[in-house]
Amino acid sequence: MTESMTQMAVSGVQGLRPYQPGKPVDELERDLGIRNIIKLASNENPLGPSSRVVDAIRSHLPELARYPDGSGFRLKKALAGKLGVAPEQITLANGSSEVLGLSASIFLSEKSRAVYSEHAFAMYPIVIQAVGARAVVAPASTAASRQRYGHDLDAMLRCVDADTRVVFIANPNNPTGTYLTDSALDGFLSELPKSVLCVVDEAYFEYVGVKDYPDTIGWLDRYPNLIVTRTFSKAYGLAGLRVGYSVSHPEMADLLNRLRQPFNVNALGLVAAEAALDDDEHVLHSKTVNAAGLQQLVSAFEERGLESIPSVANFVTVDVKRPAADVYERLLHQGVIVRLVENYDLPGHLRITVGTEEENRSFISALDCAVADD
Ligand SMILES: *Cc1c(COP(=O)(O)O)cnc(C)c1O
């Protein structure tokens, strides 16, 4: 594309830098010609989807000439039943990332501001900048507590002014794995002006096992300016299909519905998500395997004197105490893909997705090799 074409783009887009995903397995195979690659870079479920999902997809294949149900009737009904809300409160999306973008498009303009935390998920600055709004980054918590690197809600509240229209909160946050308690988040929402939309991103909801994690969906009656986003990409093991959703006040859902593409969730995604919801056991098993794997990784880090950020999700970010890009490269050469988090202002750190026990073990021995000769 020529320079003049870039100059013709709206100013927000001119300055955009694309989201950097984890390196795909295929790409590493092409680059280095190695096999048996272990990818612990995108917080995917190492167990894959439920077998019921695979069956449902297979039986739907002959129907692919048909457009999907643009209203997502069956999936919304199933979700509504499970979550105890009305179907009118649910908006289906092409991954929950789509809801983040739609929220920004609906509420932000070049005259407004949006707030998120330092070390927060990288999609927030992208969706804010894409619509030309001003991003305001609140400093993260520095307290020497479990919450270090996590969102500092008081600091976020201080960033809210008359021009603020949206606040993005990740709970738990990626890449830190930190979480906000029910009392902390409830307190924040009660202080937040009702004219400011609060997007609470719960992409890792199903993995969280702590008792004081908020029941945000139960709060929707009290906070019409709240929108909760969730996804089938993580614990449900459907990242490749792109299905996410939000739960909100029906009026908010109506706005999202006006802007979304009419067939934003594809037909296989719809049937797969519906089947996935029907297999609680698979999610429960995934959660159990994850808890053990997280402990396996954290113990390995402790044994090696490496500090990791306490995580309630399916990944953990660790301070490798050397240039993280070097360690990342050395791991790649051993066929292990993890995630660099320099772009999250966490230099010296790597984010590791919890894999199966065997994958975790392979990663740990690759890490030992990667740091052995320095
Ligand atoms: C992975 C992730 C998402 C969602 O991704 P989708 O695949 O688009 O649903 C959203 N937020 C956070 C914090 C994530 O880590």
Atom of ligand 1 nearest to the CA of 234: 1
Q: Which amino acid is at 309?
A: I
| Residue nearest to ligand 1 atom 1, measured at CA | 203
- Name all domains of the chain by residue range, CATH numbers in brackets: 3-35+281-370 (3.90.1150.10), 51-279 (3.40.640.10)
Task: Write out the chain's pLDDT in tens, 374 residues.
Answer: 556 898 899 888 988 988 888 899 999 999 988 989 999 999 999 999 999 999 999 999 999 999 999 999 999 999 999 999 999 999 999 999 999 999 999 999 999 999 999 999 999 999 999 999 999 999 999 876 668 999 999 999 999 999 999 999 999 999 999 999 999 999 999 999 999 999 999 999 999 999 999 999 999 999 999 999 999 999 999 999 999 999 999 999 999 999 999 999 999 999 999 999 999 999 999 999 999 999 999 999 999 999 999 999 999 999 999 999 999 999 999 999 999 999 899 999 999 999 999 999 999 999 999 998 66
| Contacts of 188 by beta carbon, 8 Å cutoff, 6+ apart | 153, 156, 157, 180
Separation of CA 203 from chain center: 5
User: In whole angstroms, what is the distance from residue 141 CA to residue 176 CA?
Assistant: 11
Q: Is the CB of 100 under 6 A from ligand 1?
A: no
Q: 232 CA distance to ligand 1 centroid (A)?
A: 9
Would you say the CB of residue 201 lies under 6 angstroms from ligand 1? yes
Q: Put residue 48 in one of left, alpha, beta given phi > 0 → left and psi -120 to 50 → alpha.
A: left
CA 343 – ligand 1 centroid, Å: 17
Angle at 12 between CA 229 and CA 247, to 5 degrees: 10
| Beta bridge pairs of residue 135 | 114
CA proximity to 131, closest of 158, 159, 164, 103: 103
Q: How far is the CA of 231 from the centre of ligand 1 (A)?
A: 7
85-88 long-range Cβ contacts below 8 angstroms, 24+ apart: 85/217, 85/220, 85/247, 86/250, 88/250, 88/253, 88/254
What is the distance in angstroms between the CA of the first residue and the CA of the last residue of the chain?
43
Query: 220: Cβ below 6 Å to ligand 1?
Result: no
Residue 304 φ/ψ, nearest 5 degrees: -100, 10
For residue 112, the CA-to-ligand 1 centroid distance in Å is 24
Torsion 199-201-202-203 (CA) sign: positive
Ligand 1 pocket test: pick from 234, 246, 265 the residue with the most ligand atoms within 8 Å of its Cβ: 234
Residue to substitute in 45, 98, 174, 311 for testing ligand 1 pocket (most ligand atoms within 8 angstroms of CB): 174
Residue nearest to atom 15 of ligand 1 (CA): 174
**Does residue 137's CB lie within 6 angstroms of at least one atom of ligand 1?**
no
Q: Which amino acid is present at 349? A: H
pLDDT of residue 146: 62
336 φ, ψ (degrees, to nearest 5): -120, 120
**Which tokens in the block code for residue 257?**
């519905």
Question: Which of the listed residues 91, 124, 201 should we mutate to test ligand 1's pocket, taking the one with most ligand atoms within 8 A of CB?
Answer: 201
Q: For ligand 1, is residue 94 a contact (CB within 6 Å)?
A: no
Decide whether any atom of ligand 1 lies within 6 Å of the 200 Cβ.
no
The predicted model scores a pTM of 0.96
Sign of the CA dihedral with 90 first, then 91, 92, and 97 last: negative
Task: Report CA-CA distances (Å) from 352 to 115, 233, 360.
Answer: 27, 17, 9
Question: What is the per-residue pLDDT for 1?
Answer: 54
Does any ligand 1 atom lie closer than 6 A to the CB of residue 122?
no
Ligand 1 mean position to 96 CA, how many Å? 6
Q: Residue 341: what are its φ and ψ, rounded to 5°?
A: -125, 30
DSSP 34-85: --S-EE-SS---TT-S-HHHHHHHHHHGGGTTSPP-TT-HHHHHHHHHHHTS
CB 185 within 8 A of CB 216: yes
Atom of ligand 1 nearest to the CA of 175: 15
Report d(CA 124, CA 107) in Å as an integer: 14
What's the 233 CA to ligand 1 centre distance in angstroms?
7
Q: Which two tokens stand for residue 217?
A: 């969906």
Q: Which residues pair with 92 in a beta bridge?
A: 245
Residue 173 · residue 123 · CB < 8 Å: no
Element housing 318 (H / E): strand 315-319
Residue (of 332, 300, 352) closest to 174 by Cα position:
352
How far apart CA 84 and CA 86 sit, in angstroms, is 7
